[in-house]
């Protein structure tokens, strides 16, 4: 049975279905980020069912440091630990490792760095990342890659990408070994490789061609949204996405705003994740179809409407702008929680709308109308 089924296209936009050991993912999809096995803002996995979440994303490095992937394995894996029965994607830890590591500590075997919690020395390479992710027993594991700094010289970027390719081969071999062990919790764990290359068009294209030969379960585009312009990012997607296998899901890592997602879907991307909806919610900001709102603003003091009229999220079904503003001003955690729930629901339902528009062949019209409403900022 094919894992990824392309159901419809509209231009380059793709409407797909990805079958995993933990259920079906309808794509394009926005994954909800729960770095340490919890969505920041006091949002539980019970809440995730209410806000139409399909995939939860957790961080390999953070869970390795605390509580320890060995602890999670003894409990029965991440799904059991956090009581979530749908797919989980774990990132490889590469992004965190490289933000913590002095560049001189990157070697062929892996990376030496100090824990951000207690300073203890940790080593992580491709095999270690795969072992940790196997212990976590996530649905999809990401390959261990180097996230090159932006900007970087062409020479640095080429050397980095070549090493990432060698590491990817090691990741694949190690995952095959781990999936065959008798005590492995998820013996069908999937592996996504990552295309790197910064804004160097030819390095991106050549890397995509090299990694597509490995016939992985899916492919990601990493190292974007790190300081380049939106136009540069969209150009890299224009040249890279067509080089990746069209019968596998394509994941744009760490992106982004609703506008970024609409532009990337138009260029053939299937998977997204970003901390924006939760982070902005915790700062009092709400995403809506008429743009972003700052609920701390005095103009909402007597506003008894929901954040967005017609929204079906738990916050909008039960509470007013005035009440949520009061909670924020009183520094009550409930205010942050309600905004995070609303923002994640907004993103998740936007993806539902996108999927429907691609099926109907009306995606470009949908995108144009959605962007125009958000930019007009008319509070209906």
Containing H/E element for 57? strand 56-59
- Closest of 231, 213, 233 to residue 221, by C-alpha: 233
**CB neighbours of residue 226 within 10 Å:** 16
Q: At what angle do helices 201-212 and 154-179 cross, to 10 degrees?
A: 20
Is 273 marked active-site?
Answer: yes
374 neighbors 259 (Cβ within 8 angstroms) = yes
Question: Residues 10, 69, 91, 270: which is the catalytic one?
Answer: 91
Written as one string, the DSSP assignment of 108-137 is SS-EEEE-TTT--EEEE-HHHHHHHHHHHT
The backbone region for 66, taken as left when phi is positive above 0, alpha when psi lies in -120 to 50, beta otherwise, is beta
Beta bridge pairs of residue 328: none
* Sheet containing 23-27, strands listed edge to edge, beginning at the edge strand earlier in sequence: 4-10, 13-20, 23-27
Q: Which residues does 133 contact at the CB level (< 8 Å), separation at least 6?
A: 60, 69, 90, 92, 141, 142, 189
Which of 10, 69, 217, 273 is an active site residue?
Answer: 273
69 is catalytic: no
Distance CA 321, CA 331 (A): 15
Catalytic residues: 91, 273
């Amino acid at each position: 049975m094919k894992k990824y089924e392309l159901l419809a296209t509209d231009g380059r936009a793709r409407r797909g279905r990805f079958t995993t050991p933990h259920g079906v993912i309808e794509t394009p999809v926005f994954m909800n980020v729960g770095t340490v096995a919890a969505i920041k803002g006091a949002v539980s996995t019970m809440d995730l069912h209410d806000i139409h979440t399909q995939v939860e994303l957790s961080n390999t490095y953070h869970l390795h440091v605390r509580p320890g992937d060995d602890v999670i394995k003894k409990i029965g894996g991440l799904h059991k630990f956090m009581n979530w029965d749908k797919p989980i994607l774990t990132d490889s830890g590469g992004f965190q490792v490289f933000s913590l590591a002095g560049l001189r500590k990157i070697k062929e075997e892996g990376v030496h760095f100090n824990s951000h919690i207690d300073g203890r020395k940790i080593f992580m390479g491709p095999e270690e990342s795969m072992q940790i992710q196997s212990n976590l027993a996530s649905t999809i594991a990401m390959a261990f890659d180097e996230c090159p700094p932006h900007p970087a010289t062409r020479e640095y970027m080429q050397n980095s990408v070549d090493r990432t390719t060698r590491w990817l081969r090691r990741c694949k071999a190690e995952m095959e070994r781990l999936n065959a062990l008798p005590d492995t919790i998820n013996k069908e764990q999937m592996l996504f490789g990552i295309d790197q290359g910064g804004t160097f068009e030819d390095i991106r294209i050549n890397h995509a061609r090299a990694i597509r030969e490995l016939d992985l379960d899916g492919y990601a585009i990493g190292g974007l949204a790190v300081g380049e312009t939106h136009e540069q990012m969209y150009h890299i997607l224009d040249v890279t996405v067509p080089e990746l296998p069209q019968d596998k899901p394509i994941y744009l890592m760490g992106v982004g705003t609703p506008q970024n997602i609409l532009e990337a879907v138009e260029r053939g991307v299937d998977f997204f994740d970003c901390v924006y909806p939760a982070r902005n919610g915790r700062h009092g900001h709400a995403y809506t179809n008429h743009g972003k709102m700052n609920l701390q603003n005095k103009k909402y003091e007597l506003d008894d409407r929901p954040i967005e009229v017609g929204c079906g999220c738990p916050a909008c079904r039960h509470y007013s702008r005035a009440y949520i503003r009061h909670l924020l001003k009183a520094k009550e955690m409930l205010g942050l929680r309600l905004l995070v729930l609303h923002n994640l629901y907004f993103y998740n339902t936007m993806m539902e709308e996108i999927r429907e528009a691609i099926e109907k062949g009306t995606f470009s019209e949908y995108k144009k109308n959605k962007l125009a409403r958000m930019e007009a900022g008319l509070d209906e």
